[in-house]
Each structure stands twice: as structure tokens, then as C-alpha cells.
Amino acid sequence: MILLLPLKISTELVLGLCGSSSTEKIRIFRWWFRVFSGMDYAPESGMVLIPTRFVWPYGGRDVYISGSFTGWTPWPMTPVEGCPTVFQTICSLPQGYHQYKFVVDGEWRHDEHQAFISSNIGTVNTILLNRESDYHPGPGLLNPQMPHSGSGSSMDVDNEALQRMIRSSDGVSNGPFQTMSDAALEITQHRFAVFLSTHMAYELLPESGKVITLDVDLPVKQAFHILHEQGISMAPLWDFSKGKFVGVLSALDFILILRELGSHGSNPTEEELETHTISAWKEAKSYMNNRIDGRGNAVSRQLVHAGPDDSLKEVALKILQNGVATIPIIHSPSEDASNQHLLYLASLSGILKCSCRFFKSSTSLLPVLQLPISAIPVGTWLPKIGETKGRPLALLRPSASLSTALNLLIQAQVSSIPIVDDNDSLLDVYSRSDITSLTKDKLYTHINLEETTIHQALQYRDDPFSTYGYTSQKCHMCLRSDPLYKVMERLSKPEVRRLVIVEAGSKRVEGIISLSDVFRFLLGT
């Protein structure tokens, strides 16, 4: 965001910004020093310098501007009074064409809502300053406040316009800085879908690795100990009697088992979990969900899987449509699905990593990826005051019971819940997969889900930390100002399933964005 004002100054101090001779460079340096040190000059030949206010409205801790007019040296920006997420600075620029970027918390950034181009130093914003008499602000620039006649110069700006911009950056209004064109969305979704449709599942296979498979006749107790020890949240199930894969066992199954056994008024004993096999649990689960045939027999849910020659789009859609996190990639040489070979467990993060690698050097092909996530309909956000529509965002305090958390995970059909303090600032995240930590020291046999708090449950997981000293590496965050591509890169890491959107500084939770959110948006599902 830029605000402009004309100011008269001597031409002797400015020869241009792109001179190549040493004499010119010295004279340019002198000009930089005098302009940025605030020195005054008597007008001589009427060269125009235009005090230009640059604004970064997307938050951060340390924000700088760096451009052709600073010799690409970072120049500090300061927070706007009353709005700590908006930073500004004023630089006096000569007429002509300029390029600039922002440095936000050590990262090069550009403002998608201003004019920008791709250059040999990456994507940069641009601005063209004409003669005072010819100047007409273009789209994206705020109208300048012209100096009053008789005054030497004025640094007044259109503060009302600036406040409109600030309100927009805070999400109060949907102004021109929070827009996404239908054409940009259509192009992005089309090109993303084409990429996924023309790349196959076998491209996800690593050069080496291991896949854990469980026998359906394995005791439930042993199965969940394996999940915890291996650091995985699910595993495919193999039925030797049928000679094929028949399903998966996940952390959600452990949650349901604990709730079911706990509903009888007592904790599950070692003997109960030792005698209950996975196949017996799956059959009981089918009865619980009323999946029975006409003769009253339990009907197992069909295994959701893909083949190595299925497209990445088919794999992604199977994951989204079935509400699962991972599906097995199975190769079967024969048509009757016998002699199956488990090749890989495909997830959205693996597909996203492949996509980010492909588009890394050509993100301009997907224009929406450069927009801040606050400008696009992706993720689940806390509703604004007066809003009733939209999916609610589940939040819990550390004092809430573990039973409350588990019930919420199931009822809200989410994989994680942000844990916040009394100011709604993020402390940690409790996820479905965290339930397997109760296998340590057989905790599940002597804890009460109603009496155990989330804080205690997180201690079992992280081992140990001071009271409310949350340091979990599972707590991954982003800002509403982060571009979608940056969010996608972070989500493509195997250990990251979702990002909690927080306010810069306070870490107040504003929303949450998951892998499935990104894929539903990019695939238009």
C-alpha cells in the first residue's frame, strides 16, 4: 500500500538511480543520505521528490522495506499506532520507475495487492511516479493528500484511506485488498487439476522405506502398542484367511474402544484389550454403526485403496471423499485381487509435496497461490461478531477433560483441537494420534477420561514440561498474511497435518487450515 506527496528539492543531488560510473554512485549515495536523514534543501531547479508512504498490512514482528531506491538495503518500518499488525514508513522518491520488496521476520515478501513483476531477484513490487502535474494514482494506490498552497511541503496523508486499508487488513471489511478474481481461481484450479491428473501414484513411492502391516487376529493391546512405538497413527490390516488387505486400524479406533469400554463404568483392563482381537473389534464396530446385512451379519467397510497407476487426482479424491488421512497403494498382478503387494501409504502431504516441487519455479502459473490465506475461502475461521454461518472452530482450555476432547474430535469430525488460554492464545494442539500415548506404562488401565485434563494428557505425550509451558513440536502455526503457497510448503512436510492461524504477537487463534482444506479448495470440491 502506497501514499504519495510531491516535494521540491535540488536536482544537483539526484542524477538517477541506475548510474554505472563511480562519480554517479557517490552522488547517488549522498542523495540517499540526505533524503533519509531528513535534511532540508532550498529549491533550485525544481526537481520533484515525492514522499511515499509504504504500508505492510499483514503483520509480523520485524518488517523492513528494501528497494531500488534504498540500494536494496533494508529500511525499517514501524507499526501504525493502534494497529500493531500494520507497518509503515515514508521514503522520498524521485520521479520514475521503482522496484521494492518487504522483509518480514527475515523472509523476502511482496504485496500481492500491489503491482508486481518477476525479476532476476524474484518477485518484486513496482511503482511508477510521474511528474506532479501528470500524477494520477492507479488501482491499489491511495489518493495523495496534496500540500496546501503557500506551504513549503506537507507530510499529511489521507489517513481516512489508510484506516480503511487497516480495517481491511484486519478482516473487518472486504475491500479491494481482500479480493480474488474468478479468472485467477479458475486458472489455478484448472492447472492444479491437470497436474494431478497427469501424474501417477507410483511417483510418490520413495527409493526406500518401510510399511507396517497388522494381522487382523492380533490383540488390540499389542496393535496399539505397535502404533505408538513406531510413531504412526494407522496401519493396514492383513487377513491371512482371505489372503488380502481388509482394512486399516487407526488412532480413532483406539478412541472408540476406550469410550466403549469406559461407558460401562470402568477402565479397560489389560485382559480385555489382550483378549479382544482387531477382527473382533471391527465386527463390533460394524454393529455399532448398523452396518449389517439382511440376515443380521456384520458387514465390514470396504478397504479404501488405490493402485500405482491411479492418478494423483484420483488418490486425493478418494482420501477426501472417504474422510481418511491415508490410503494404501496396493499392486495386484492378477485381476481377482489376489497376491496383493502393499507398496506405500499415500497421504495428501505426499501429493502436496510433489505438487509444490513441480510448481516451485513457476508459481505464477497458479496466481491464487500468492494471495494471503485471509483473502481466499480456505480453512476454518473463528466467526466475526454477528456471523452465524460457516463451520464452527472447536477450541478447548487445558483444564477441559480428556473425555470432552475425545467426544469433540468424534462429533465435530476433526483430527485436532487447538488448546488455548483465557485470552484464546494458542498453547498447544490435541490430536487424534495423541491418544496412543496412553499405551505408555499402560496408562489406559488406570486413568479416568472424565477426571484427566487435557493438560495432563499432553504431559503424557510430551514428557515432561513445566505447568502450561507448552513446547510441542506438533503445534504448527501460520499468519493470516501468509501466502497460500507458503502454507502449502509447510503442510507438505510429513509431520505437519494442519496449521493453526494465529494473530502475530499475541498468538490469539484466528482459525485452522488443514491438508484437506487446501485440496478441497484447489480441486473445487
Residue 70's domain is classified under what CATH number?
Answer: 2.60.40.10
The tally of CA atoms less than 13 A away on the side-chain side of residue 99 is 15
Per-residue pLDDT for 478 more than 80? yes
Q: 313 and 381, same structural domain?
A: no
pLDDT above 90 coverage of the chain, percent: 37
* pLDDT value of position 397: 95
CA distances (Å), origin 233, targets 250, 251, 465, 482: 6, 5, 24, 29
DSSP 369: G
pLDDT above 70 coverage of the chain, percent: 72
Confidence class of residue 381 from pLDDT cuts 50, 70 and 90?
Answer: very high
Confidence class of residue 293 from pLDDT cuts 50, 70 and 90?
Answer: low
The answer to whether 161 and 3 are in contact (CB under 8 A) is yes
Confidence class of residue 5 from pLDDT cuts 50, 70 and 90?
Answer: very low
**Is residue 137 assigned to a domain?**
yes
Q: 395 and 323, same structural domain?
A: no
**Span 44-59, average pLDDT:** 75
**Which domain CATH number covers 506?**
3.10.580.10
**Span 115-141, average pLDDT:** 63
Last residue of a domain, one of 328, 351, 374: 351
**Span 104-110, average pLDDT:** 91
Q: 291 and 153, same structural domain?
A: no
Q: What is the dihedral of CA 261, 266, 268, 269, to 10 degrees?
A: -140
State how far the Cα of 285 lies from the Cα of 296, in Å rounded to an integer.
14
Last residue of a domain, one of 332, 351, 370: 351
Q: 303 and 340, same structural domain?
A: yes
**Is residue 378 assigned to a domain?**
yes
**Is residue 80 assigned to a domain?**
yes
Confidence class of residue 142 from pLDDT cuts 50, 70 and 90?
Answer: very low
pTM of the predicted model as reported, rounded to 2 decimal places: 0.64
Q: 162 and 45, same structural domain?
A: yes
Q: 333 and 386, same structural domain?
A: no
**Is residue 259 assigned to a domain?**
yes
Q: H/E element holding 78?
A: strand 78-80
Q: 325 and 444, same structural domain?
A: no
Q: Which residues pair with 116 in a beta bridge?
A: 125
Per-residue pLDDT for 161 more than 60? no
Plot region of 243 (φ>0 → left; ψ -120 to 50 → alpha; else → beta): left
Summarised one tens digit per residue, pLDDT across range 430-441 is 999 898 888 887
Q: Is 259 exposed, middle or buried (0-12, 13-18, 19+ CB in 10 A)?
A: middle
Confidence class of residue 138 from pLDDT cuts 50, 70 and 90?
Answer: very low
**Span 22-48, average pLDDT:** 45
Summarised one tens digit per residue, pLDDT across range 313-343 is 999 999 999 999 999 999 987 766 667 899 9
Smallest CA-to-CA distance from 144 within 93, 109, 84, 105 is with 93
**Is residue 436 assigned to a domain?**
yes
Per-residue pLDDT for 133 more than 70? no
CA distances (Å), origin 117, targets 63, 124, 125, 127, 486: 21, 6, 6, 11, 18
The answer to whether 51 and 7 are in contact (CB under 8 A) is yes
**Is residue 388 assigned to a domain?**
yes
Mean pLDDT of the chain: 77
Confidence class of residue 463 from pLDDT cuts 50, 70 and 90?
Answer: low
Q: 375 and 346, same structural domain?
A: no
Summarised one tens digit per residue, pLDDT across range 388-425 is 566 678 899 999 999 999 999 998 888 999 999 999 99
The answer to whether 13 and 30 are in contact (CB under 8 A) is yes
CB atoms within 10 A of CB 203: 12
The answer to whether 523 and 193 are in contact (CB under 8 A) is yes
Q: 395 and 345, same structural domain?
A: no
CA distances (Å), origin 361, targets 114, 200, 323: 21, 21, 32
State how far the Cα of 142 lies from the Cα of 350, in Å rounded to an integer.
43
Last residue of a domain, one of 351, 379, 395: 351
More confident position, 115 or 457: 457
**Is residue 188 assigned to a domain?**
no
Q: What is the dihedral of CA 241, 259, 456, 423, to 10 degrees?
A: 120
**Is residue 159 assigned to a domain?**
yes
Q: 421 and 286, same structural domain?
A: no
Q: 64 and 169, same structural domain?
A: yes
The answer to whether 494 and 473 are in contact (CB under 8 A) is no
Q: 260 and 309, same structural domain?
A: yes
Lowest-pLDDT choice from 220-224, 295-299, 381-385 = 295-299
Domain count of the fold of the chain: 3
**C-alpha grid cell for residue 170?**
484486519
State how far the Cα of 358 lies from the Cα of 9, in Å rounded to an integer.
50
**Span 183-197, average pLDDT:** 92
Domain limits at 323? 201-351
DSSP 142: P
Q: Which residues pair with 237 in a beta bridge?
A: 214, 247
